[in-house]
């Protein structure tokens, strides 16, 4: 009996699923026109002031053949203007010097590195700089000889810190 009841239920479900469904009559709907949109206004360029972009191409304190082919033994820094406009780049070197004997005494006293306050108080500070005017993609350099700086690297220990100070320029940026 359970089996025949199961067949009867399955059969009824089959008839319901296969019987045609009444469809609703078609409704005459008018198509809605697409909404009218205003064209988006072109973004206006914005003026921004920012430093010129540059790329460091090398720096050091030893021998160096500069752009004009001369050999220089001393601090040098080479950079390229990577911006779309020309401008000035100030290359500044803060050079700290001290005699070799005093330097060896300080290294003995501070074996894990010289603290900044010791460098500031015991070393002589020399600030040198050069201003370069570079066109876009132009390369420039600042180079000084030890002789020009009155420094004998055989008798003096030194530490240097470079700073590059590019011009601030106003540019139009598209948003």
Pair type for strands 63-65 and 71-73: antiparallel
Write down the pLDDT at residue 15.
59
pLDDT band at 33 (very low <50, low <70, confident <90, very high): confident
Q: Provide the 3-class DSSP secondary structure of residue 45.
A: coil
| Nearest Cα residue to 141 out of 167, 162, 111, 171 | 162
Determine the pLDDT at residue 27: 59
| pLDDT value at residue 35 | 75
pLDDT at position 134 over 90: yes
Q: How large is the average pLDDT for residues 22-43?
A: 69
More confident residue, 14 or 114: 114
What average pLDDT does the structure give for the chain?
84
C-alpha to C-alpha distance for 66 and 64, rounded to whole angstroms: 6
């Amino acid at each position: 009996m359970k089996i025949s009841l199961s067949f009867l239920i399955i059969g009824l479900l089959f008839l319901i699923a296969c019987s045609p469904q009444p469809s609703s009559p078609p409704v005459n709907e008018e198509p809605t026109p697409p909404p009218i949109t205003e064209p988006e206004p072109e973004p206006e360029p914005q003026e921004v002031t920012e430093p010129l972009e540059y790329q460091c191409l090398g720096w050091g304190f030893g021998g160096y053949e500069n752009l004009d082919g001369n050999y220089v033994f001393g601090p040098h820094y080479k950079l390229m203007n990577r911006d779309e406009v020309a401008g000035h780049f100030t290359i500044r070197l803060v050079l700290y010097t001290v005699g070799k004997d005093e330097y060896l005494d300080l290294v003995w006293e501070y074996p894990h590195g010289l603290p900044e306050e010791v460098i500031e108080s015991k070393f002589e500070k020399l600030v040198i700089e050069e201003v370069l005017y570079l066109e876009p993609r132009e390369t420039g350099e600042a180079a000084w000889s030890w002789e020009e700086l009155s420094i004998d690297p055989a008798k003096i220990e030194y530490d240097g810190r470079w700073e590059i100070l590019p011009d601030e320029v106003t540019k139009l940026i598209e948003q």
